[in-house]
Amino acid sequence: MAKDAKRSPFTAELVRRAAIDAFLKFDPRTMIKNPVMFVVEAGTAVVLLLVVWPDLFGPSGATRAYNFAVFAILVLTIWFANFAEAVAEGRGKAQAESLRKTKTETMARLVQKDGSTKMVSSSQLKKGDVVRVEAGETIPADGEIIEGLAAIDESAITGESAPVIKEAGGDFSSVTGGTRVLTDWIVVEVTAGQGESFLDKMIALVEGAKREKSPNEIALTTLLAVLTLIFLIVIVTLVPISRYLGIALDVATLVALLVALIPTTIGALLSAIGIAGLDRVTRFNVLAMSGKAVEASGDIDTIILDKTGTITYGNRMASEFIPAEGVTEAEATRLALLSSLYDETPEGRSIVDLARRKGVSADAPPGAEPIPFTAETRLSGIAFADGQKLVKGAVDAVSRELSAGGAKIPKALIEKTEAIAKAGGTPLVIAELASAGSRAVGVIHLKDVVKAGLKERFAELRAMGIKTIMVTGDNPLTAATIAQEAGVDDFVAEAKPEDKIRIIRAEQAEGRRVAMTGDGTNDAPALAQADVGLAMNSGTMAAKEAANMIDLDNDPTKILSVIAIGKQLLITRGALTTFSVANDIAKYFAILPAMFATAMPELAPLNIMRLTSPTTAVLSAILFNALIIPLLIPIALRGVRYRPMGADRLLRRNLLVYGAGGILAPFVGIKAIDIVLSALGIR
């Protein structure tokens, strides 16, 4: 999968392919899916007849050359609209071709009923079959590990080279066909039949073959169809009015007027905007099951977040060194560092890192040896050549060692360890053990650390009116501490798996849209209930089937990026709709006054563009109408730049930039085209 979400939407091959596909889309069976552009195509067919038979609908003052010019511009309009959609689809097809290369035919070691194995082609596998996959072999089909443990290379799917550990049972038992086993062996039960695999679904989705229109897109399409019908009625009623005024309007001009006034700009780009939104999510290595899911993410009001792995790293890390009475903080830090020099656990490395960030450094003296951690002693450290030992470990384990030497942990230090434990942290006591006298020198405070940058991102979500709720099994005191540090709006402590679905339903009952992430089987009901459920690719099959999005990178915080993409999709559609409607307002002033000013001098003040003639007015308006489409394609594909802000500010910004811009652009563009047409001798 491509990881670069910002790469250029255009390549020479993509443009060439899209240019050809744009002509293939002239098929009326394809065009009828877009009512606005279908009306344009129907009008183009009528004008084509007038090119061949200018007097087909009665005597007309329009020349064959004029009819052909209108026809050519209308064809260009349709082609540009089709090109926009073809470019958006083309990027998905390019991804699909890359995925097809991943989906190769492999041999599978099918486990028979008697326990023996038989080599068969992966295409012969069906649901329920059991296969054994050993180190160096490709997993032949999607499934669940029912036996064994292995490191699996999923780079063909995720783009990440780091192997993932998968094992039977638990929340990391799902495997994907096309990935490769690096170590050990696994026994997999096939869970997907032919054509139903994860890769098959990805190929179909990125190609756009199963792109369903979202409710908002359907509503906007219906609105555009109604507006088109209204303008069609207006154009039809314009015929008797113009005759009454003594103005002869030919059919080609009426068709051009209709095309210029209906919302062709947004009608041409609407499908491309939706496809591009789905494509942007895919480029973030998130598989969205439909365009509905992407758009729903833009309407999210509440996010339900697990604490461990989402808000925090899930690993205990050193946060502070607390010295015992009579010991300086610098000395306690140095001794903590020495006790952890040989500790290769994440906790040990975090102690060393924190000490060095505090400006303390130390090397193991000559002759020193490590004291390894064991389940029995529950401590680790360093033994010096003179027989002295420096250890760190659980309170009771270190207390036992000190008691053996006739010492004990001071009461004040015990109270500090109890305070750390009540706050949800883990205290490790540091002690010096020597024949001349042992003593406790301090405490290391380990805690689950909040991920960097989350507080700022939650603040952005709050600015958009999105509520964040942290769900954790920790006690209320620990939960409150983490919630405050992370900057979430609310939290639920001591939560059970079923509490998640209860919280989601409560939020939805108040009219809010809810998003959540999960990876376990017990998350599946809540993922299904949420409006946007993001499952981890490393999670169980039940979680992935319940969700409407799957994160291939297994990053729970990806939900924040998905919401931003959904918002960008809605903003882009709204901005270009505003621009398109504003365009129509400007085109009224371009065409109608120029056409009727001769018969109705009262309209002359409205002809503020001072266009050369009715002919150049019509041609300039529809040519601008065609050319604005390719100019807006990059915006439709990349999306309008997204900034976290409230709905009111966003509306004002859209009206100012795209509303005012949509009105001004046609005045400048149509006048410039009119000047060029006049210079070419067209009157």
Q: Which residues form the catalytic set?
A: 306
The CA distances from residue 604 to 27, 234, 405, 642, in Å, are 42, 21, 106, 42
Joined together, the tokens standing for residue 637 give 């594909």
Between the alpha carbon of residue 568 and those of residues 236, 637, 650, the distances in Å are 39, 11, 11
Long-range contacts of residues 325-330, Cβ cutoff 8 Å, at least 24 apart: 325/410, 325/412, 325/413, 327/441, 327/442, 330/360
- Name residue 533's beta-bridge partners: 516
- Coil, strand or helix at 351: helix
Closest CA relative to residue 90, chosen from 148, 145, 9: 9
With tokens 């039977």, the residue in question is 168
What CA–CA distance (Å, rounded) separates 311 from 298? 21
Distance between alpha carbon 102 and the CA centroid of its chain, in Å? 23
Distances in whole angstroms, Cα of residue 386 to Cα of each of 85, 154, 319, 354, 369: 77, 50, 31, 28, 11
CA distances for 671 relative to 212, 483, 492, 617, 675, angstroms: 40, 59, 62, 9, 6
The tokens for 411 are 């009461």
Main-chain phi, psi angles of 657, to 5 degrees: -80, -55
Q: Report the distance separating Cα 212 and Cα 38, nearest Å.
A: 20
In which region does residue 309 sit, left (phi positive, over 0), alpha (psi from -120 to 50) or beta (all else)?
left
Q: What is the four-CA torsion angle of 116, 120, 125, 128, rounded to 10 degrees?
A: 0
Contact call for residues 423 and 478 (beta carbons, < 8 A): yes
Single out the residue of 206, 197, 147 nearest to residue 177, CA to CA: 197
Contact by Cβ (8 Å): 166, 215: no
Quote the DSSP letter at residue 58. S
